[in-house]
Structure 1
Amino acid sequence: MNTVTDRRAVARQRTPLNRSQIAGFWGAWAGWTLDGMDSFIYALVLTPALTELLPRSGFAATPSNVGLAGSILFALFLVGWGLSFIWGPLADRFGRTKVLAATIFTFAIFTGLAATSTNVWQLGIYRFIAGVGIGGEWALAGTYVAEAWPEDRRKMGAGYLQTGYYAGFFLAAALNYTVGVHFGWRAMFLTGAVPVVVAILILLRVKEPEKWQKADAKTVRAKPLREILGPAYRRRTWVACILLTIAIIGLWAGAVYEPSAVIQLAARAGMSKGDSIRTASLATGLLSIGTILGCLALPPMAERIGRKLTLAVYFAGMAVSIAASFGWAFYLPNGLAPFIAWLFVLGFFGGNFALFSLWLPEQFETRVRATAFAFCTSFGRFVGAGVNFLLGAAVLHMHTLGVPVALTALVFIVGLFVIPFAPETRGETLPQ
């Protein structure tokens, strides 16, 4: 009884959030939600968009060409994500909220412009520039919440923030179930222009974190990129890059090909085209719910057993669920239901990204934090772009998407051997 009472007393004693911290969190969360929605819109409308645009670009809209073109365009999108490291030094120099708003403006405007595409080249350019904006949002939102929220709240804040991205998946699936089915892929891209409103609100209502203001006043800024690659930070920078690369490869291998896999399995089960699309939307919603739960479960686990062991648990779960869903359930005679069931498990362990929102800010000081966050995430996206291109070629060569995607489970096994080289920061305060 006393223990329960003590815990409740501790919970009541947590530092209250002020209005700017609350508004800033919801602005960052909404931006991250719409970021996730924007990212997943492409996966959901991939087939209908390319089926229309490939013939206008001089190519037949065969399943193989759709798959290859889709992988190439997504690789370009990931390269845009990779170039988003430019936002980190800007945020360390000019502030978190201003640059966060700029990233949201960028991806919103160019996602909306994608609806006007008349060929695959235009779509590729718009998605590339949108990727530059989308890629910067996570680093800046994560940095903002870590610095703006009180020490006794920021860890759960990281978990709450990360749910936004997968709430965006759920929102994209809901829009596809309603708007996409009735109005087509162009209407889906138009909905991606909505985040401009969020960017305006962030600029008008949210103050810069005090930690950044103090560091900005005290520090003469030199070259933060050089500093994170220098002797003091080199090891933790490259270890974080490798771990994020593994997480990104696994996320996009599973998430990008999930709707196509469900549509194929639904068609194999005798469903109509419309019912197959709706089933893919429902499956995406289930994947998103699982990931949101995984994000919420992660911070308490990381506080109890440590950052490194928590990531190991989530990486092991990703390896098993990717292999079981794409390598086993996808090839069952009646594999639709087992595949969708495994998607929930895959989604839960996909919540491993919440750990990076919590862990990366703990590894770097304020003057270089945004640069480090942006660099590590961008590195993973560059490598992920190359892997995605190879994955598309493998799908084309093997005439199946199950086995190539299932093989990405191996990278998580590699990750288990890399985790011990990362620093354990459980119990440490955010470095100033």
Structure 2
Amino acid sequence: MTIDEHTPASSTAPGRLTPAQRRAFWGSFGGWAMDGFNWTIFALVLAPTMTELLPRAGIAATPGNIGWYGQISAALFLLGWGCSFIWGPLADRFGRKPAMMASILMYGVFTALAGVSTGLWQWNAFRFLAAVGVGGEWAMAGTLLSEVMPERVRERFGGLMHSAAYFGVLAVSVVYLLFGGALGWRGMFLVGGFPALVVFLLRRSTPEPERWKDTSRQAVRRSFWQPVAEILAPPYRGRTLGNLLLLVVCVIGLWAGSTYVPTAMTDLAGRAGHDHGTTVRLASASSMTVAVFTVLGCVAVPRLAARLGRRGALAVLFGLMVVGTVGAYGVAYPMSSIGLTFVFLPLLGLGGANFAVFTIWLPEQYPTRMRATAFAFTTTFSRWVAAAGTFLIGYGIHATGSLTLPLTLTAVVFVVGMGLLRTAPETTGQALPD
């Protein structure tokens, strides 16, 4: 028996998915896992990469310069991620599957090329282009999965799919833990490109959602940019801008806070006099700790969002980020305490599941004809706004010569985010609109 997402839940066995739905889930899961794998390489090898490339550019590899130029690199990566909004209109016009496959091929190729860079700005250019591919994956996978899954399990599988990125984080952390010393930063980027190409080949069997097929004939008769115009016009403009601001909060917190965990741990290990091998293990363990708890958070998000509502769930997760950020960077780091840092990392991990709320929430706010565009617009342009914030934080690290004050102040961003929650509609209990 074959079913699609328009089939009533009562006509199928509870909890059973069709082969097409299972392929859609695992295709989306695999692609998003490789995104997590690739963006985490940047965090894990930032210090050794800057240590080698900065002197080639005539810049001393001091902790302050590594933090400053590392943050510039993060800002450039976010700018590239912002350019990936183009995948949304492409998916609404030509289909979710081809856009998804093209995005994963792009970030796989340019991640690998980053490993053969000979200079700082060449490396930044490859990372920028990889980000254009990386940024499209979440929007494409989240849109496709929401449209393919039966309504009764859409929330649950949305949360599970988003946890994939942190399985990718765990995988790359294990690789770095076991082989980082031998591979070096170049080898890590080369390793990052290969699995992405494997997932690209597997993705060929991912089905195209029937919902999109039903609207595809109308899509070809519309202007390519019409979905963009629609999400920025009433009645969708307010929610689009509100979602954009909320995602800015999440991105600043991720890139200025939890993404710097391995860098902070590397610095703490250096202060404690640990050798290179121990430093690598501690950096990997810190990243893995955050990732494990983010996976647990993603698994819990569907139930939390159903019980507290989408806005309530996001408020709780923002609160965890406030406590975790202040504790890790405002208390443990200036105390040079590796042990206390590990106490606060689980809070950063759980709070980092805030992105999973949007995997469930964004598709519920827009109809099929503009869903991918809305998802891509809000999740990618938020990176452009956040890039300015991370640049300022990088300047603060450079000016103070420490991670403490600039990263601790990112907690304020989450407090502001709590006040912005009322700008987005509450959609709990509502079916995905057609």
The TM-score by the shorter chain falls in which range? over 0.9
Shift of 1:421: 2.2
Letter in 2 for 1:381: R
Give distance in 2, aligned partners of 1:53 and 1:424.
47
Provide TM-score, normalisation by structure 1.
Answer: 0.95
Give distance in 1, aligned partners of 2:178 and 2:15.
42
In structure 2, what is the equivalent of residue 6 of structure 1?
A: none
User: 2:336 matched to 1:324?
Assistant: no
Partner SS, residue 153 of structure 1: helix
Give distance in 2, aligned partners of 1:407 and 1:248.
14
Letter in 1 for 2:393: L
8 Å CA contact 1:179, 1:187 repeated in 2: no
8 Å CA contact 1:15, 1:150 repeated in 2: no
Give distance in 1, aligned partners of 2:67 and 2:419.
33
Where structure 1 has 5 or more consecutive residues not aligned to the other structure, the ranges are: 1-9
Partner SS, residue 176 of structure 1: helix
Partner SS, residue 353 of structure 2: helix
8 Å CA contact 2:64, 2:402 repeated in 1: no
Where do residues 410-421 of structure 1 align in structure 2 (5 Å cutoff)?
A: 410-421=412-423
In structure 1, what is the equivalent of residue 249 of structure 2?
A: 246
Give distance in 2, aligned partners of 1:30 and 1:43.
21
Shift of 1:13: 4.4
Count of residues in correspondence between the two structures: 421
User: 2:31 matched to 1:28?
Assistant: no
Letter in 1 for 2:192: G
8 Å CA contact 1:82, 1:379 repeated in 2: yes
User: 2:304 matched to 1:309?
Assistant: no
Question: Could you give the per-residue CA deviations for residues 156-191 of structure 1, whole angstroms, max 9, x where no partner exists?
Answer: 111001111111111111111122211211110011
Give distance in 2, aligned partners of 1:321 and 1:55.
34
Out of 279-288 and 210-219, give the one that drifted further: 210-219
- State the Cα RMSD in Å: 1.5
Give distance in 2, aligned partners of 1:210 and 1:287.
37
In structure 2, what is the equivalent of residue 67 of structure 1?
A: 67
8 Å CA contact 1:84, 1:135 repeated in 2: yes
In structure 2, what is the equivalent of residue 256 of structure 1?
A: 259
Give distance in 1, aligned partners of 2:249 and 2:294.
17
In structure 2, what is the equivalent of residue 202 of structure 1?
A: 203
Give distance in 2, aligned partners of 1:45 and 1:332.
24
Give distance in 2, aligned partners of 1:44 and 1:197.
23
Give distance in 2, aligned partners of 1:190 and 1:355.
32
Question: Could you give the per-residue CA deviations for residues 250-309 of structure 1, whole angstroms, max 9, x where no partner exists?
Answer: 111122211111112222223112211210101111110010001111101111221111
In structure 2, what is the equivalent of residue 3 of structure 1?
A: none
In structure 2, what is the equivalent of residue 272 of structure 1?
A: 275
**Which of the numbers 342, 345, 351 marks the counterpart of 2:344?**
342
Shift of 1:57: 2.3
Shift of 1:55: 2.0
Give distance in 2, aligned partners of 1:385 and 1:175.
29
8 Å CA contact 2:328, 2:344 repeated in 1: yes
8 Å CA contact 2:71, 2:390 repeated in 1: yes
8 Å CA contact 1:14, 1:153 repeated in 2: no
Shift of 1:15: 5.4
Give distance in 1, aligned partners of 2:191 and 2:20.
28
Out of 178-187 and 98-107, give the one that drifted further: 178-187
Give distance in 2, aligned partners of 1:154 and 1:206.
17
In structure 2, what is the equivalent of residue 156 of structure 1?
A: 156
8 Å CA contact 1:315, 1:349 repeated in 2: yes
In structure 2, what is the equivalent of residue 230 of structure 1?
A: 233
Letter in 2 for 1:405: L
In structure 1, what is the equivalent of residue 46 of structure 2?
A: 46
Give distance in 1, aligned partners of 2:66 and 2:325.
23
In structure 1, what is the equivalent of residue 292 of structure 2?
A: 289
Question: Could you give the per-residue CA deviations for residues 301-340 of structure 1, whole angstroms, max 9, x where no partner exists?
Answer: 111221111111111111111111111111225x111111
